[in-house]
């Protein structure tokens, strides 16, 4: 049997979901995940990561890693976010995650209203952007869980290096605690200098928390 023919037949019907976590925070990387679920092994409880508590996300992330046909997590760091802008950095992380899959899918569903450019990557699959896909498509929900749980772990680790900001609590998002820390301590190396509250803190005129 031709090995390429066998590989093509095995790929038929394989569906990957792609999602990100961390577009909005003032600090830390943006993380993306790609997941190909095994249709023969259902994982109960998978849904949009924003609808799950932290403990449930950790539990489901472990199940996804052990049961999925393939999964991959990647990110773009703060320097890439500030250089490219957050949308392009998010798309870069998504491309990296998809390229990290050990199995190539036939079709990819991406959460959002547009797909990253995969030109020149020779992936040989079709792509589809789905608004609200993390609520509608289980493969995207699984990707959102992996991306969110991975990023939360990264931010908790960064909290031990930069303890003044409360990163383990708010994961870099713009909370009142975070704004107060920026006003007192200024920006750290992991803060996104292209984001207005961070830029203002660097200029010595920190912004007020919007909810104040």
Q: List all residues 6 or more positions away from 97 whose beta carbon is below 8 Å from its beta carbon.
A: 18, 32, 33, 34, 72, 73, 74, 143
Q: Which residues are paired to 107 by β-bridges?
A: 15, 126
Give me 79's structure tokens: 């320097």
Could you give the maximum distance between any two Cα atoms of the chain, in Å? Answer: 69
Give, as one character, the DSSP assignment of residue 196: H
CA distance 88 to 186: 26
Q: List all residues 6 or more positions away from 73 whose beta carbon is below 8 Å from its beta carbon.
A: 31, 32, 33, 97, 100, 146, 147, 150
Q: What is the DSSP string of 128-153?
A: EEETTHHHH-HHHHHHHHHHHHHHHH
Q: Which run of H or E residues covers position 30?
A: strand 30-36
- Report whether 74 contacts 32 (CB < 8 A): yes
20 belongs to an annotated ligand binding site: yes
Q: Which residues are annotated as a binding site for a divalent metal cation?
A: 19-20, 111
Query: What residues form the annotated binding site?
Result: 19-20, 111
């Amino acid at each position: 049997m031709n090995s390429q023919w066998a590989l093509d037949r095995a790929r038929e019907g394989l569906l990957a979901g792609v999602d990100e976590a961390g577009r909005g925070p003032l600090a830390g990387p943006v993380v993306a995940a790609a997941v190909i679920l095994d249709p023969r092994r259902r994982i109960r409880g998978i849904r949009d990561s924003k609808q799950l508590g932290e403990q449930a996300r950790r539990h489901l992330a472990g199940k996804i890693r052990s049961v999925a046909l393939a999964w991959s997590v990647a990110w773009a760091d703060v320097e890439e976010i500030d250089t490219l802008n957050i949308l392009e950095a998010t798309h870069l992380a998504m491309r990296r995650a998809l390229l990290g899959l050990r199995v190539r899918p036939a079709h990819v569903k991406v959460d959002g209203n547009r797909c990253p450019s995969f030109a020149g990557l020779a992936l040989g699959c079709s792509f589809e952007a789905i608004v609200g896909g993390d609520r509608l498509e289980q493969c995207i929900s699984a990707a959102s869980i992996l991306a969110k749980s991975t990023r939360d772990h990264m931010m908790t680790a960064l909290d031990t290096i930069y303890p003044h900001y409360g990163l383990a609590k708010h994961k870099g998002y713009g909370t009142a605690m975070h704004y107060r820390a920026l006003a007192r301590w200024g920006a750290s190396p992991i803060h996104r200098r292209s984001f207005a509250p961070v830029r203002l803190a660097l200029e010595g005129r920190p912004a007020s928390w919007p909810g104040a």
